[in-house]
Amino acid sequence: MFPCQSILFPVEFSQRDEAAATFVLSMAQRYRARVVLLHVLQPPPPIYAGMGALYPEVFDFEGAIQDLKINLGNFASTQLPKIDVACVVETGDPARSVSQYACNNGIDLIAMPTHGYGAFRRALLGSVTAKVLHDSSLPVWTSAHAPEPSHRAHPQPRRILCAVDLKPESRHTLEVAIALATDASATLEVGYVPADTASPDAAERRLQDLLIEAARAEKIDILEAPPISTRPEGGASDVAEGVRDLALRNRVDLVVIGRGAIRTGLGRLHAHSYNIIRESPCPVLSV
């Protein structure tokens, strides 16, 4: 089973938050997880007076925090009913606050709706989300496209696509995808992006070996697991477009990718993680 007992859900009271809440609610119900709603209050710019910096006396930090907690409570009651929800307000830099709170409070999953402005959404990921993806080692669920009119992803995933590049880190990504598919009784598709020098037959054998190893790690008989189909996509000129096309063609509800090397830029797939998130027509789980 995918370990998901606590979900951190940063909100800024936007329509994107409401769209993502349906997916967060589904995950929380499936895993009986506790959801922490987090709003980060950025202090106004200070007024400099002499050698010191003074904040305007008219800004009521305590009052603002109390009002935000009330708003979070209202959001929880309307968008996340009948589950365990905590409401937290922090002050400071949003990305740093999200990463630090998740690290210090035993969070299992960060769920972040990201920017999605029509035709411009592919050019935007959002600096806060990008920094959390870079800084945090936790799984991060993102959705820059919820909902995309041409591709309505289901909150309870029925089809999951796991995109791997056959690097050693791919086994962990496959383990997570297999666990998610098993928990949700979903079909699992596997798309791979082999090294340019790898022959199709060698890549296929390597993928089959990784699938068997991942299934054994999850104590699942690969023959009894949800249906798995491997679809070579190494020929795609653009990795993100290849993953997007595969997700659209198979009406995928969730894409799972690895980002273990995202900070060092190793691996073709890891180097394209941000682009995959931007291009995907459905939510993406980065592990």
Helix (H, G, I), strand (E, B) or coil at 110: strand
Residue showing tokens 């209202």: 74
pLDDT at 265: 41
Distance, in Å, from the CA atom of 202 to the CA atom of 194, rounded to the nearest integer, reads 9
Most confident of 94-103, 110-119, 205-214: 94-103
Apex 249 CA angle, 244 and 250, nearest 5: 100
Give the type of residue at 17.
Answer: D
Q: What are phi and psi of 22, to 5 degrees?
A: -60, -40
Chain region(s) in the chain for CATH 3.40.50.620: 6-143, 159-286
Looking at residues 189-208, what average pLDDT do you find? 74
What size, in residues, is the chain?
A: 287
pLDDT at 223: 58
pLDDT at 122: 42
pLDDT at 53: 57
More confident residue, 44 or 251: 251
Q: What is the pLDDT of residues 138-187, one digit of tens each?
A: 999 998 665 555 667 889 999 999 998 888 888 899 999 999 999 999 99
pLDDT at 224: 61
CATH topology of domain 159-286: Rossmann fold (3.40.50)
pLDDT at 283: 93
Is 75's pLDDT higher than 70?
A: yes
Q: What is the pLDDT of residues 13-56, one digit of tens each?
A: 988 899 899 999 999 999 999 999 999 998 766 655 555 555 55
Apex 283 CA angle, 281 and 284, nearest 5: 110
CATH match of 6-143 with 3.40.50.620? yes
